[in-house]
A and B are shown apart, each in its own frame.
Chain A
């Protein structure tokens, strides 16, 4: 392996950015491809697939054998609001392979008793996100109903290109939210990325059922990410 490739790869992994190490198994030469880099032909198609699935494997292309080793950051779910839905969402998401962190400045809500074994921040989202910035391998679900708590985090999630952005509230509530986010400088394209009302439409009634709908929608967003741009280019 090229030492420069190793350094580049580790830097990308530390920064929670996806990268693929492409090794030509015939001559041993390798290079790093970052997500978004353009690679043409059969190899490019295989690389795009590996970025989506996260699966590593060999591929025959241009008469050669390449090994694609995909290094995807661990996807995670950040929940704004230590509410009833979050109590069900945190353990479900963890089981599904999406570690959860919860932020809620209301100390009556954000208690260890209500959220055993969950990374919990009884602070304002502004303060937590300043320390732990969002990224495109983070899903954000805002479920407090309180603009003072949700809005900043939603805008930050859109700016960081989080793979999923969901917000709890009726269509009427969301219409008002859209006006506030536009005033904060969000673009119409960004607004369109918000899933509101939150969750897949499965007729969820209880907090736990809403949690299922939110988790399923976040997984769907993760597994189909990048498909929009590919379809647009086709």
Chain B
């Protein structure tokens, strides 16, 4: 909940990621590291993904999550971090649709 003084344990992406890790799952963490224009989620926002494609959190409010989840599964396999960019000027991003007109840069890394 916005402005709650307590963490929302069931929905907080980093708490969820720690829980998955304890359950022995492979996990990737995606983080918004830069935004331009009307990006829907602020810098620092997280989306966490497990190897089966389950995810929690958001990096764009729904526009590019599908693409990030697909890339995250690769990152979990390879162990190599990736920097993804989405925006209206980018062909891929046009397809996945940041229709709000913003651009974002998302860092995807494996946990551990």
Q: Does the CB pair A97–B3 fall under 8 Å?
A: yes
One of B5, B21, B34, B43 near A6 (C-beta < 8 A): B21
C-alpha gap A28/B107 in the complex (Å): 10
Q: Which residue of B lies closest to A30 (CB)?
A: B109
CB-defined contacts of A1 to chain B, threshold 8 Å? 29, 109-112
Stretch in B11-19, B59-67, B85-93, B96-104 with 4+ CB within 8 Å of A: B11-19
What secondary structure prevails in chain A residues at the interface with B?
mixed
| In the complex, chain A residues 20-40 whose Cβ is within 8 Å of any chain B Cβ | 23, 25, 28
Contact A76 B44 (CB under 8 A): no
* Interface size grouping (class) on chain A: 20 to 34
Known A2-B112, A9-B14; contact A70-B44, beta-carbon cutoff 8 A = yes
Shortest C-beta distance, B56 to chain A (Å), equals: 14
Beyond A25-B33, A58-B34, A69-B44, is A74–B107 a contact (Cβ under 8 Å)? no
Q: How far is the CA of A164 from the CA of B42 in the complex (A)?
A: 27
Q: Is the CB of B31 within 8 A of A10?
A: no
For residue A56, which residues in chain B have a CB less than 8 angstroms away from its CB? 42-44
Q: Which of A28, A70, A99 contacts B3 (CB 8 A)?
A: A99
Chain B residues with CB below 8 A from A14, complex form: 7
Q: Which of A13, A67, A73 contacts B31 (CB 8 A)?
A: A67
